[in-house]
């Protein structure tokens, strides 16, 4: 594998990471903390939304994020033929 | 059968199971001992990581902390799960590709420096010892509460069990024992939660139940907020802490999780890079089951407790009340002599002190569940403490036998000698941990602030920069670690342990920017990053072979087995 391909692989990897980490930050520090008071005026079932994000929602999003990362990276590994 | 006898039987059976597993899976080589031969399936590894990760604090104390702090308790929920996203995305796959045994291995090789390795060894030992002392204490406490023996006797029994299976089995024994421990622990946690959820809201899923309606048609959380207002507490769903502090604590716990050596080392045990990513997902799934249930238990128990005790006659309390009163977890003092219990936010008028651990421990009794479930909760608490202690023990013994002895002091020892050194250092580590469990030093209580703050401020930046920056050199990494660690240690010693400076000006009013010691690791992490980047730009580039290592770990192909050379 030549240096240019390696670089391209890494660049795409970084792109995915940035995208996923922005969501990671938004759901936990954003919805669960910084925007919690604002979101608390909305209610979903018996949950105030900000409170729900902080105690439930953020955790579910974390799971989805890791799952998305695995799918994206497995595809990327195949594309660059670096999978095992 | 009496509860006491039943508890002895259930706990005894669980111990027999752990010992059986460790005999079946004993370690034959250093590879087995440090990384379980590198052949653990991602599913089993995920389960073992979850058990390793969830300590006595997660099992026994967390739901209680949330119950008494409401929204503020979210810092633990997000902090102790969000770190797995960082682990999965930024660390696990690359460290697996790097393919060594320990975290100091990575730091030492990537930063081509014995000093860097030594700094990493000291950090790993310090973090692990702080943490394990808390776990041994936890084993003792579980014993004393359920089996009515002395806390110290409990610590001795715990030491003997952990010693047996970690010394014999190493990582291999520990991993498969942890799988069993996870199953016991999650079952013991979920069964009471499901029963109580059905009792209170009719919904069998606790995660949905605590947002559901109670019998009179109001939402449970609205009702609890109302009760809190009535008694003078802050609303359950909004909390007391400042937004900045909640932010900083959550961040420190997340970064600390991603920097704790006993968690990172788990990702060395799977066969491929792909498996490392996958086992981070499995681990978080298994952790999330407990972590999304804990806030539900917190709400159920809080509501139940307030309704059962407040303004009720002391003479008519249920039997569990007097039982937990004798253990000191409940303390009633009838200040106005009216024979009623007043539970209020105002400390002058409040008549009932409640230990937060009661939320999980007394849960099955409050819900009138059968005795075997109560016995199971005891076994679950023990499983949580033992699994974490064993994982930490392994990090300690690997740090001593592998990082210190093999890599620094006596590079020529054979594999067999190294294996015996690893076993020997486990024995010493258990004894030291047991000693601290029996004579807990002041810092055990601050274990969260210390272990997470230090891991966040030292390992996390050093490892991330080692992977994502080819320009980072040894000068930068070492100064970064020392500065980040130094300032965090200073802050915790100053404001949490009160070792430095006058006690009267170490209160919240004097904290820097209002950041509590628990959240200061985030600041230390920033200091580490900034110092490291500045210093590395002013000093020589790392040598070409180091840049090649970085290139190598970025590509998943060809991970191979973990190697000692």
Q: What is the pLDDT of residues B421-437, one digit of tens each?
A: 888 888 888 888 888 87
From B80's Cα to the closest Cα of chain A, the distance in A is 10
Which tokens sit at B175? Answer: 């991993």
Confidence (pLDDT) at B564? 46
pLDDT at B151 > cutoff 90: no
Which residues on B lie below 8 Å from A60 (Cβ)?
Answer: 288, 292
**Mutate: best of A10, A42, A46, A73, partner B, most B CBs <10 A:** A46
pLDDT at B239 > cutoff 60: yes
- Alpha-carbon distance B362 to A82, whole Å? 53
Confidence (pLDDT) at B180? 92
What digits encode the pLDDT tens for the residues A20-75?
A: 999 999 999 999 999 999 999 999 888 999 999 999 999 999 999 999 999 999 99
B328 or B518, higher pLDDT: B518
Confidence (pLDDT) at B365? 81
Q: How confident is the model at residue A9 (pLDDT cuts 50, 70, 90)?
A: very high
What digits encode the pLDDT tens for the residues B158-189?
A: 888 888 877 777 778 888 889 999 999 999 99
- Closest-approach residue (CA) in chain A for B467: A10
Average pLDDT of chain B is: 85
From B58's Cα to the closest Cα of chain A, the distance in A is 15
Tell me whether residues A29 and B250 touch, CB distance under 8 A: yes
Which of B88, B212, B247 has the CB atom closest to A29's CB atom?
B247
Mean pLDDT of B558-562: 62
- Alpha-carbon distance B525 to B464, whole Å? 11
What digits encode the pLDDT tens for the residues B59-91?
A: 888 888 899 889 999 999 999 999 999 999 999
Using alpha carbons, select from B177, B158, B179, B181 the residue that is nearest to residue B169.
Answer: B177
Q: How confident is the model at residue B565 (pLDDT cuts 50, 70, 90)?
A: very low
pLDDT at B548 > cutoff 50: yes
From A29's Cα to the closest Cα of chain B, the distance in A is 7
Which of A20, A29, A83 has the CB atom closest to B89's CB atom?
A20
Locate all alpha helices (DSSP H) within B356-512, ordered by sequence. 358-361, 363-366, 371-398, 415-438, 447-457, 459-468, 474-495
- Alpha-carbon distance B520 to B489, whole Å? 9
CB contact set of B305 (below 8 Å; sequence gap of 6+): B354, B359, B366
* Residue B213 at interface with chain A, using a CB cutoff of 8 Å: yes
- Whether the CB-CB separation of B56 and B146 falls below 8 Å is answered with no
Which residues on B lie below 8 Å from A15 (Cβ)?
Answer: none
Which residues on A lie below 8 Å from B220 (Cβ)?
Answer: 46
* Residue B290 at interface with chain A, using a CB cutoff of 8 Å: no
Which residues on B lie below 8 Å from A47 (Cβ)?
Answer: 211, 221
Confidence (pLDDT) at B560? 63
Confidence (pLDDT) at B47? 92
| Model-level ipTM above the cut of 0.90 | yes
What digits encode the pLDDT tens for the residues B222-236?
A: 999 989 888 888 888
- Closest-approach residue (CA) in chain A for B552: A6
Which of B66, B85, B213 has the CB atom closest to A24's CB atom?
B85
Which residues on B lie below 8 Å from A30 (Cβ)?
Answer: none
Using alpha carbons, select from B103, B536, B467, B99 the residue that is nearest to residue A14.
Answer: B467
Confidence (pLDDT) at A48? 92
**Mutate: best of A19, A53, A54, partner B, most B CBs <10 A:** A54
Using alpha carbons, select from B90, B122, B79 the residue that is nearest to residue B519.
Answer: B79
Cα of first residue to Cα of last residue in chain A, in angstroms, is 15
pLDDT at B448 > cutoff 70: no
Q: How many other C-beta atoms are found inside a 10 Å radius of the C-beta of residue B346?
A: 10
pLDDT at B214 > cutoff 80: yes
- Alpha-carbon distance B293 to B197, whole Å? 10
Confidence (pLDDT) at B269? 80
User: What percent of chain B stands above pLDDT 90?
Assistant: 27
Mean pLDDT of B356-379: 82
* Residue B280 at interface with chain A, using a CB cutoff of 8 Å: yes
Mean pLDDT of B6-15: 88
Which residues on B lie below 8 Å from A6 (Cβ)?
Answer: 551, 554-555
Q: How confident is the model at residue B562 (pLDDT cuts 50, 70, 90)?
A: low
CB contact set of B271 (below 8 Å; sequence gap of 6+): B38, B39, B559, B561
pTM of the model: 0.90
Confidence (pLDDT) at B83? 92
Mean pLDDT of B374-381: 87
Chain A interface residues facing chain B, Cβ-Cβ under 8 Å? 1, 6, 9-10, 13, 17, 20-21, 24, 28-29, 32-34, 36-37, 40, 44-48, 51-52, 54-56, 58-60, 62-63, 65-67, 69-70, 73-74, 77, 82-84
Question: Which of B53-67, B93-107, B348-362, B523-537 is predicted most confidently?
Answer: B523-537
**Mutate: best of B65, B70, B78, partner A, most A CBs <10 A:** B78
What digits encode the pLDDT tens for the residues B464-515?
A: 999 999 999 999 999 999 999 899 988 888 887 777 777 777 778 888 888 8
């Amino acid at each position: 594998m030549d240096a240019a391909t390696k670089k391209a692989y890494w660049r795409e990897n970084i792109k995915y990471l940035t995208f996923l980490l922005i969501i990671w930050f938004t759901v936990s520090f954003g919805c669960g903390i910084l925007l919690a008071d604002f979101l608390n005026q909305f209610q979903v079932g018996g949950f105030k939304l900000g409170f729900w994000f902080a105690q439930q929602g953020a955790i579910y999003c974390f799971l989805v994020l890791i799952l998305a990362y695995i799918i994206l990276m497995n595809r990327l590994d195949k594309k660059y033929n670096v999978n095992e | 059968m009496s509860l006491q006898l039943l508890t002895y039987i259930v706990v005894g059976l669980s111990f027999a199971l752990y010992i059986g597993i460790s005999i079946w899976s004993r370690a034959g080589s250093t590879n087995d001992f440090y990384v379980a031969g590198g052949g653990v399936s991602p599913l089993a590894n995920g389960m073992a990581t979850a058990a390793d990760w969830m300590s006595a604090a997660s099992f026994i104390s967390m739901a209680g902390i949330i119950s008494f702090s409401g929204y503020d308790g979210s810092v633990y929920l997000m902090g102790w799960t969000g770190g797995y996203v960082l682990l999965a995305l930024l660390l696990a796959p690359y460290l697996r590709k790097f393919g060594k045994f320990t975290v100091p291995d990575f730091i030492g090789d990537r930063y081509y420096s014995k000093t860097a390795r030594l700094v990493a060894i000291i950090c790993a030992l310090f973090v692990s010892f702080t943490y394990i002392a808390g776990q041994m204490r936890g084993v003792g406490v579980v014993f004393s509460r359920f089996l009515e023996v002395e806390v110290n006797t409990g610590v001795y029994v715990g030491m003997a069990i952990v010693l047996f299976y970690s010394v014999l089995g190493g990582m291999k024994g520990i991993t498969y024992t942890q799988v069993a421990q996870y199953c016991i622990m999650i079952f013991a946690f979920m069964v009471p939660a499901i029963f109580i959820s059905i009792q209170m809201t009719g919904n069998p899923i606790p995660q949905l139940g605590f947002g559901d309606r109670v019998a009179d048609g109001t939402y449970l959380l609205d009702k609890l907020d109302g009760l809190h207002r009535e008694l003078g507490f802050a609303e359950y769903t909004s909390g007391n802490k400042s937004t900045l502090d909640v932010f900083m604590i959550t961040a420190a716990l997340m970064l600390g999780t991603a920097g704790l050596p006993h968690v990172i080392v788990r990702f060395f045990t799977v066969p491929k890079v792909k498996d490392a990513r996958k086992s981070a997902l499995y681990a978080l799934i298994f952790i999330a089951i407990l972590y999304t249930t804990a806030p539900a238990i917190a709400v159920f128990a809080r509501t139940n407790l307030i309704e059962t005790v407040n303004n009720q006659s002391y003479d008519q309390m249920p039997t569990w009340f007097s039982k937990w009163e004798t253990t000191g977890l409940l303390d009633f003092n009838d200040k106005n002599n009216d024979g009623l219990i007043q539970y209020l936010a105002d400390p002058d008028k409040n008549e009932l002190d409640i230990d937060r651990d009661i939320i999980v421990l007394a849960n099955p009794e409050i819900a009138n569940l059968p005795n075997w479930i109560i016995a199971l909760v005891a076994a679950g608490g023990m499983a949580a403490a033992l699994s974490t202690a064993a994982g930490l023990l392994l990090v300690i013994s690997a740090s001593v036998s592998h990082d210190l002895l093999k890599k620094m002091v006596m590079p020529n020892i054979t594999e067999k000698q190294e294996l015996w050194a690893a076993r020997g250092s486990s024995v010493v580590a258990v004894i030291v941990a047991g000693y601290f469990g029996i004579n807990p030093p002041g810092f055990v209580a601050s274990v969260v602030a210390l272990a997470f703050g230090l891991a966040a401020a030292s390992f996390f930046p050093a490892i991330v920069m080692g992977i994502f920056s080819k320009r980072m050199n040894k000068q930068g990494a070492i100064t970064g670690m020392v500065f980040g660690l130094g300032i965090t240690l200073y802050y915790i010693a100053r404001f949490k342990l009160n070792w430095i400076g006058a006690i009267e000006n170490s209160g919240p009013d004097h904290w820097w920017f209002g950041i509590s010691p628990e959240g200061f690791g985030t600041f230390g992490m920033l200091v580490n990053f900034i110092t490291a980047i500045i210093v590395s730009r002013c000093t020589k580039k790392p040598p070409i072979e180091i840049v090649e290592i970085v290139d190598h770990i970025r590509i998943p192909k060809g991970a191979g087995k973990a190697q000692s050379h």
